[in-house]
Amino acid sequence: MSRLAARFAFLLLLAFSVQASAQNTGPAFPHTELSIGMFRIDTEVAYTESLREYGLMFRKNMASNTGMVFIFDSPQLHCMWMKNTLLPLSVAFIDDAGKIINIEDMQPQTETSHCAQRPARFALEMNKGWFKDKNFKAGTKIVGLERFGVAAK
């Protein structure tokens, strides 16, 4: 799929899937489905700088098998923190091929930086311990990211 076609498909996905989270009074995030192994994940998509900055702030809970995927403009050594985030989370940093680089556990309401160990194109935040409980580690492939114009390697 060409880069232009992939971007067009992504924009169509956004146009048809934008919805506000019932527990979030912040911005409305589009949703998409990702999968890891046999698990399907309903993910909110943070694809702009303002959505990435807001992220999961002020949430009091998050259902199992739901999360938020952060799409970065380019692969870099991206870092995450937990300012104004009430939930303990685990974050998986993911490369262009859709493979997990590293996973970090994060404590609520802290400003400690948790960073990718090498350039990452995506970050997937889930409830703390989700990846460990399912035995997902560095190298595990996440399916569904290819719709964002990368992760097809």
Q: Give the CATH number for residue 51.
A: 2.60.120.1140
- Alpha-carbon distance of 62 to 44, in angstroms, equals 11
Which residue in the block uniquely carries the two structure tokens 């035995």? 135
Contacts of residue 24, defined as CB under 8 A and 6 or more positions apart, other chains included, come to 58, 59
Which residue in the block uniquely carries the two structure tokens 């719709």? 147
Supply the pTM of this predicted model. Answer: 0.82
Based on its alpha-carbon atoms, the radius of gyration of the chain, rounded to whole angstroms, reads 14
Q: Which pLDDT tens digits describe the chain residue by residue (153 residues)? A: 555 445 545 544 554 444 333 444 688 999 999 999 999 999 999 999 999 999 999 999 999 999 999 999 999 999 999 999 999 999 999 999 999 999 999 999 999 999 999 999 999 999 999 999 999 999 999 999 998 876 444
Give the domain range for residue 98.
3-148
Which pLDDT score, from 0 to 100, does residue 15 have? 45
Whether 153 is covered by a domain: the verdict is no
Helix (H, G, I), strand (E, B) or coil at 16: helix
How many domains does one find in the chain? Answer: 1
Which pLDDT score, from 0 to 100, does residue 7 have? 52
**Dihedral sign of CA atoms 103, 107, 108, 112 in order:** negative
Which pLDDT score, from 0 to 100, does residue 5 have? 47
